[in-house]
Structure 1
């Protein structure tokens, strides 16, 4: 997958990046407007909504980093190759998560190790 179709994959990643950036910009403007209209007596539901928006922004910023990382892989003709084990990433996984740089097995393993690390802390 590294060479075959990498131009199409790069275009798909660029589109994902543009869409993610647009959504980030929209949410940041929305959050900024909410903060500007703040009253001293914000309701609990307003604060909860603001927290939700901030969490979504954080998630989208992380996704943008993952997309940028995958774009770098594509530009280096390494797209579709697991950066941990070197095997081909499943095409189905790339279809669903074009920003994936780990195969399913390696992703599971890194998540398992992260959970173990959190449990130790």
Structure 2
């Protein structure tokens, strides 16, 4: 693993996990990203359309948050198994600055730029 503070990375990832879980709950979703509330179609048709549009937008946000949560869990798993900081494409170490900025990175800058 590159020379970065492993405990600091773990703390950063745990804080991000907590934040994302809180955001999911605020949107009415559980940790798996499933929305727990129902749309009330008993309202006027126009209101039902607005509710559907709002729910669609919320689902998009929930999907983004779920992806982020999956990335955080993957990074925590890599920390646990000793593979954190290894590029998934070329196998070299990911730059410490990149991991400090975005600890969920799975590729080094070169591979990311090359689209590998």
TM range (shorter): 0.7 to 0.9
- After superposition, the C-alpha distances for 1:29-81 in whole angstroms (9 at most, x for unaligned) are 6x655724762513544433221111000111111111111111111222222
Is the Cα–Cα contact under 8 Å of residues 28 and 57 in structure 1 kept in the other structure? no
* Alignment counterpart, residue 79 of structure 2, candidates 59, 74, 82: 74
Say which structure is richer in helix: 1
Q: Where do 4+ consecutive residues of structure 1 move more than 6 Å?
A: none
* Residues 21-40 of structure 1 aligned to structure 2 (within 5 Å): 21-28=21-28, 32=36, 35-36=39-40, 39-40=43-44
Whether 2:97 is the aligned partner of 1:92: answer: yes
Q: CA deviation at 1:105?
A: 2.6
Aligned twin of 1:13: 13
Q: CA deviation at 1:100?
A: 1.2
* Structure-1-length-normalised TM-score: 0.72
Using the alignment, how far apart are the partners of 1:72 and 1:38 within structure 2? 45
39-48 or 94-103, larger mean C-alpha shift? 39-48
Per the alignment, do residues 104 and 95 of structure 1 end up closer, same or farther by CA in structure 2, a change over 3 Å counting?
same
Is the Cα–Cα contact under 8 Å of residues 17 and 72 in structure 2 kept in the other structure? yes
Over the aligned positions, Cα root-mean-square deviation in angstroms equals 2.5
Q: Structure 1: any 5+ residue segments left out of the alignment?
A: 111-121
Using the alignment, how far apart are the partners of 1:18 and 1:85 within structure 2? 31
* Residues 35-114 of structure 1 aligned to structure 2 (within 5 Å): 35-36=39-40, 39-41=43-45, 42=47, 44-108=49-113, 109-110=115-116
